Amino acid sequence: MDADDNTLETELHTLLRRIDAVPADVTLAARSALAWRRMDAELAQLLDDTSGDRELAATRGSDSGWRALTFEAPTGVTIEVEVLLDGVARTVIGQVLPAAGASVALRHAKRHYSAVADDLGRFRFDSIPSGPVSLRVEHVDGPVETGWVTI
Amino acid sequence: MAPNTDIAQLVRDASHGDQRAWDAIIHQFQGLVWSTVRGFRLTGADAADVTQTTWLKLVEHLDRIQDPARLGGWLATTARHECLRCLRTSGRTIPTDDEATLDRASSQPQPEIDADLLRDERDSALWRAFSRISERCQRLLRILAADPPPTYEDISLAFDMPIGSIGPTRQRCLDRLRVELAAEGVG
């Protein structure tokens, strides 16, 4: 690499660092992420992630569609989730297996949402804003938290 | 770049809830994560969400990071996957990383930036020239500009590119940038 390249690259670095620095609120959010450290729960890892309804999305605009996610904890507890996208709002419908009534928390950067899974393990959250989310289920076999996903 | 033993210690401390250690990890790698995300043209809430998901995934995996030397690569790879996911979900074009696309001019418009940030004609010309080089070149040059600079090993993992290819590719991308800059009438 010759001197001209060095000069040009330095100039580009200076420009990019000035016009595209990490925004302060992004750094602040990153620092706060440590508060989500898993303490007592098993991690349910993402096994499957499918999205669809491209044709529907094409007719209704790119902000609609669905996505199906499956999480599994080492204890064998699985959490199946379907995310329905409609504009900026998301509906999260899920089922915990083995089926059991349980309280379910949807953790979101902006706030917490709570729901109760019925005897079949089914639960639902409406009008969730986009962003990273994780579910925590107080299952009879022990608490389980899913990995984080952006919805 | 902090020595790997230090990174290993920071990861251990952060996994026990040490906020200062976590802040140090962010300080070390947030430029890498952000430049990766911005390299995929994500803006606003999308860029912020993908970045935050990447950090949350690291929190999730703090007690399983096997090799601290690869932490930067792990973060960049995680961010890249989240970007592709985001682009797919929103039905936008997925960039390809074929070697053949390296020299092809970008067909995607650069996201708007605050014009006030471009201080003079030279800045504006450089920004326009940068916007015209291939998307893959833009991503590589952006990640190389991260502060603090990532290691070639991080970049290799982030781009899924052999370490030996980074130098020559960087050279080609700078050559393309120089050609575009010359077309702007400034050298």
Amino acid at B125: A
Pick the range with the lowest mean pLDDT from A44-58, A60-74, B104-118, B126-140. B104-118
Residues 28-47 in B contacting A (C-alpha not used; CB under 8 Å):
30-31, 34-35, 38, 45, 47
Q: CA B154 to CA B171: how far, in whole Å?
A: 18
Residue B3: predicted pLDDT: 64
Mean pLDDT of the region A17-46: 92
The residues, ordered by sequence, that sit 6+ positions from B128 with a Cβ below 8 Å of its Cβ are B180, B184
State which residues of chain B have pLDDT below 50: none
Interface A:B, Cβ pairs < 8 A: 126
**What pTM did the predictor assign?**
0.86
Residues of B in contact with A131 (CB under 8 A): 45, 49, 52
**Contact A26/B118, CB-based, under 8 Å?**
no
What is the pLDDT at residue B44?
Answer: 86
Q: Are A61 and A129 in contact (CB under 8 A)?
A: no
Assigned token pair, B108: 């995607």
B126 touches chain A (CB under 8 A): yes
Lowest mean pLDDT among A56-60, A72-76, A112-116, B12-16: A56-60
The span from the CA of B84 to the CA of A117, in Å, is 32
* Ranges A61-70, A139-148, B91-100, B122-131: which has the least confidence: B91-100
The answer to whether the Cβ–Cβ distance between B144 and A18 falls below 8 Å is no
SS3 of residue B111 by DSSP: coil
List A residues 39-78 in contact with B (Cβ-Cβ < 8 A).
Answer: 43, 49, 51, 54, 57-58, 62-63, 65, 67
Give, in order, the Cα–Cα distances in Å from A43 to each of A49, A111, A143: 17, 21, 9
pLDDT of residue A80: 96
Return the closest-CA partner of residue B52 out of A48, A90, A16, A107.
Answer: A107
Question: Is residue A59 scored above 60 in pLDDT?
Answer: no
Statement: residue A125 has pLDDT above 60: yes
Tell me how far apart the alpha carbons of residues A55 and B181 are, in angstroms, rounded to a whole number. Answer: 41
Query: Mean pLDDT throughout A112-126?
Result: 95
Q: From the candidates B49, B123, B126, B138, which should be mutated to test the interface with A, based on the most A CB atoms within 10 A?
A: B49
Q: Which pLDDT value is given to residue B121?
A: 85
In chain B, residues with a C-beta closer than 8 Å to the C-beta of A147 are 57, 60
- Three-state secondary structure call for residue A72: strand
Q: Specify the range with the lowest mean pLDDT, choosing from A68-72, A130-134, B80-84, B86-90.
A: B86-90
Alpha helices in chain B (DSSP H): 4-15, 19-39, 44-61, 71-89, 121-132, 135-144, 152-159, 163-183
| Token pair 């960049």: residue | B76
So what's the pLDDT on residue A104? 97
Amino acid at A29: A
Contacts of B65 (CB under 8 A, 6+ apart): B11, B58, B71, B74
Sign of CA dihedral A55, A58, A62, A64: negative
Which residue among A12, A20, A31 sits closest to B38, beta carbon to beta carbon?
A20
DSSP β-bridge partners for residue A138: A143
- Mean pLDDT of all residues in A64-76: 90
Radius of gyration, CA atoms only, chain A:
20
Phi, psi angles (nearest 5°) of residue A52: -155, -160
Q: Does A37 touch chain B (CB under 8 A)?
A: yes
Which of B14, B60, B141 lies closest to A38 in CB terms?
B60
Angle (CA) A66 A42 B84, round 5°: 35
Distance between CA atoms of residues B77 and B62, nearest Å:
16
Query: Cβ contacts (< 8 Å) between B31 and chain A: which residues?
Result: 22
Q: Is B117 on the interface with A (CB under 8 A)?
A: yes
**Mean pLDDT score of chain A, rounded to an integer?**
88
**Which positions ≥6 away from A21 have C-beta within 8 Å?**
none
From the list B49, B60, B123, the residue facing A130 with the nearest CB is B49
Whether B177 sits inside 8 A of A109 (CB atoms) is no
State how far the alpha carbon of A115 is from the alpha carbons of A41, A84, B2, in Å.
Answer: 18, 17, 44
